[in-house]
Amino acid sequence: MPLSGRALHAASALCILAVSSARFLAASARFPAVSARFPAVSARALAASLRALAASVRSRYPSPSIV
């Protein structure tokens, strides 16, 4: 079943957020000054944000039930 335009846009945004979050975490691991400068942004906070975004996408675009 092909994705609609809005669902494709939401899935694309979720992928972009996941990749940029992973890049930030990799940078903060390599450069401790990044973690020290932005203490509120942690792996736990990013994971919570991704879970909230995924839940939002799932509620907007529920998958069809398989009968």
Q: What is the pLDDT of residues 29-49, one digit of tens each?
A: 677 666 666 665 666 777 777
Per-residue model confidence (pLDDT) at position 67? 43
Query: Whole domain around residue 24: which residue ranges?
Result: 11-59
Least confident range of 6-10, 36-40, 48-52: 36-40
3 falls within a domain: no
The whole-model pTM stands at: 0.43
Query: What is the distance, to the nearest Å, from the Cα of residue 46 to the centroid of all Cα atoms in its chain?
Result: 8
DSSP 61: S
Q: What is the sign, positive or negative, of the torsion defined by CA atoms of 67, 13, 36, 34?
A: positive
Rounded Cα distance between 33 and 17, Å, is 22
Q: What percent of the chain has pLDDT over 90?
A: 0
51 falls within a domain: yes
The residues near 10 (Cβ < 8 Å, ≥ 6 apart) are: 57, 60, 61
Q: What percent of the chain has pLDDT over 70?
A: 60
6 falls within a domain: no
Domain count along the chain:
1
Rounded Cα distance between 28 and 1, Å, is 39
